[in-house]
């Protein structure tokens, strides 16, 4: 029987470690993110400044970075199972006035319907903010840089995946899905090519007839698998792109 190993003596300075989440939705025909306003308290870093929702890892509650991100999402939105993807890590001696810190950033995709944003212990106010505008704000820490990175990652992946479907409540129609793609990309896509790609992608299943925006019946769809996005072999072309050989 092997003798038990004595825990290492961790007698050295340790950084502050947090998880932050860029929560995306499409609301009022715009791509938006959740920002929280930090409280006006003495000793609080960046008092009154807007920031991303997040917080310190709780070693008693969080078995992983993903667990921490899911906990923070539940606290802020009440949603327990959105699409969630790790974005990257940011760290340095100067990003937090309290000391050397590192944050592990995620982005989440969720429908705007039925979401209730909640103020937390370190959030005096919480709001949906247009994503590009949020990336230009003077946010706390390096959160503007994180928002910009999340927008770039999302838009690049939208070109060849089914990610925008995670921004819609189910069932959704093909016109609703196309509109969501166009909002996220910031440009139109070709309707006929879009419909073919979506229907050939195999990631949706029919969910019965629903009422469309025009009031006429339309086929509704739902995702077959909400744990991952489908991949397409080609990127989208703008609706007004010139035809080959034109």
Q: How confident is the model at residue 5, as a pLDDT? A: 61
Residues 6 or more apart whose Cβ sits within 8 Å of residue 16? 56, 96, 98, 99, 100, 101, 102
Give 110-161 as a DSSP string.
--STT------TT-SEEEEEEHHHHHHS--STTHHHHHHHHHHHHHHHHTTB
| pTM, full prediction | 0.87
Residues near 240 by Cβ (< 8 Å), separated by ≥ 6? 188
Predicted pLDDT at 177: 96
Does pLDDT of 124 surpass 80? Answer: no
Give 39 or 53, the one with higher predicted confidence. Answer: 53
Which of these ranges, 40-44, 154-158, 165-169, 242-246, has the smallest mean pLDDT?
Answer: 242-246
Pairing of strands 16-27, 101-109: parallel
Residue 76 confidence (pLDDT): 75
Predicted confidence at residue 165, as pLDDT, reads: 96
d(CA 146, CA 54): 12
- In angstroms, the CA 153 to CA 242 distance is 27
Q: Is 51 helix (H, G, I), strand (E, B) or coil?
A: strand
pLDDT of 3 over the 60 cut:
no
What's the average model confidence in pLDDT over 218-231? Answer: 92
pLDDT of residue 167 exceeding 80: yes
Whole-angstrom distance, CA of residue 156 vs CA of residue 143: 20
pLDDT at 241 over 60: no
For the cut 70, the answer to whether the pLDDT of residue 71 exceeds it is: yes
Residue written as tokens 């080959």?
A: 244
- The answer to whether the beta carbons of residues 31 and 152 sit under 8 Å apart is no
pLDDT surpasses 60 at 96 = yes
- What angle do helix axes 191-200 and 174-185 make, rounded to 10 degrees? 110
216 vs 131, more confident: 131
Q: What is the mean pLDDT of residues 196-210?
A: 92
Asked whether residue 169 carries a pLDDT value surpassing 50, the answer given is yes
Stated as kind and residue range, the H or E segment containing 75 is: helix 65-77
pLDDT in tens, 10-26: 777 888 999 999 999 99
What are the distances in angstroms from CA 223 to CA 78, 83, 161, 165, 243? Answer: 21, 12, 13, 8, 32
Which pLDDT does position 240 carry in this prediction? 42
Helix, strand and coil in the chain, % to nearest 5: 25, 30, 45
pLDDT of 146 strictly over 90:
yes
Higher per-residue confidence, 197 vs 113: 197
């Amino acid at each position: 029987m092997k003798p038990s190993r004595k825990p290492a003596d961790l007698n050295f300075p340790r950084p502050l470690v947090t998880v932050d989440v860029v929560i995306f939705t499409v609301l009022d025909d715009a791509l938006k993110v959740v920002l929280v306003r930090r409280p006006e308290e003495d000793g609080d870093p960046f008092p009154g400044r807007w920031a991303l929702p997040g917080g310190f890892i709780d070693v008693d509650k969080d078995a992983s970075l993903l667990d921490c991100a899911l906990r923070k999402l539940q606290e802020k939105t009440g949603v327990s199972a959105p699409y969630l993807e790790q974005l990257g890590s940011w760290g340095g001696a100067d990003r937090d006035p309290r000391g050397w810190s590192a944050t592990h950033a995620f982005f989440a995709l969720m429908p705007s319907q039925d979401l209730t944003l909640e103020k937390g212990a370190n959030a005096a106010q919480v709001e949906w903010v247009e994503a590009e505008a949020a990336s230009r704000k003077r946010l706390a820490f390096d959160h503007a840089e994180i928002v910009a990175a999340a927008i770039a990652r999302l838009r690049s992946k939208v070109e060849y995946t089914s990610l925008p479907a995670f921004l819609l409540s189910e069932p959704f129609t093909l016109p609703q899905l196309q509109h969501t793609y166009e909002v996220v990309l910031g440009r139109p896509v070709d309707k006929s090519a879009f419909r073919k790609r979506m229907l050939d992608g195999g990631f949706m299943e029919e969910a019965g007839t629903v009422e469309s925006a025009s009031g006429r019946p339309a086929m509704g769809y739902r995702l077959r698998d909400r744990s991952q996005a489908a991949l397409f072999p080609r990127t989208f072309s703008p609706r007004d792109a010139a035809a080959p050989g034109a």
